Amino acid sequence: MAVVDLDQLRLMTGGDAGIAAEVLGIFRTQADMWGRLLDASGDAQQWSDACHTIKGAALSVGCFPLGEACGRAETLGRSGAASPAHTGIALSEVKDRLGEAVEAIARLEHRLMMTRDFDALRAE
């Protein structure tokens, strides 16, 4: 599965490459803050809420692997039965997927700003 689904991104931005680049830039900026909230030793409510927020943003721009990892971690946190080991594993996966998403988004954002065209991305 691709880190970023271009069809979803195109759908959510009405096919406007400029808007897509702007949305991706906002996502990257917010990712740093979100990452700081993913503390396995912290309050489960806090990191569950962070996972919920990241999940929504990720799914809207087509970062489905990240959204799925966030969904699993959020469910775990809200269950009230998350062991420290399970919490650590779940949040590590979210952080890994978040890092992958940020890297992929940075490359995609640059390409969109250069080409201003979704179709040019498909030709690469």
Q: What is the pLDDT of residue 116?
A: 82
Residue 49: exposure state from Cβ atoms within 10 A (0-12, 13-18, ≥19): middle
The residue segments making up the domain with residue 52 are 6-123
| The predicted structure's pLDDT at residue 66 | 98
Per-residue pLDDT tens digits for 66-91: 999 999 999 999 998 889 999 999 99
Q: Is residue 68 part of a domain?
A: yes
- What is the domain-level CATH number for residue 15? 1.20.120.160
**Cα dihedral 117, 67, 97, 103 in deg (nearest 10):** 20
Query: Is residue 69, in this structure, part of any structural domain at all?
Result: yes
Q: What are the pLDDT tens digits along the chain (124 aa)?
A: 799 999 999 999 999 999 999 999 999 999 989 999 999 999 999 999 999 999 999 999 999 999 999 999 999 999 988 899 999 999 999 999 999 999 999 999 999 988 888 777 765 5
pLDDT at 122: 66
Contact 69, 94 (CB under 8 A): yes
Pairwise CA distance, residues 90 & 103, whole Å: 20
Does any domain span residue 40? yes
Is residue 59 included in any domain, yes or no?
yes
Please give the model's pTM, rounded to 2 decimal places. 0.92
* pLDDT at position 1: 76
Q: How far apart are CA 40 and CA 22, in angstroms?
A: 31
Report if residue 1 sits inside a domain: no
Per-residue pLDDT at 102: 97
Q: How many domains does the chain have?
A: 1
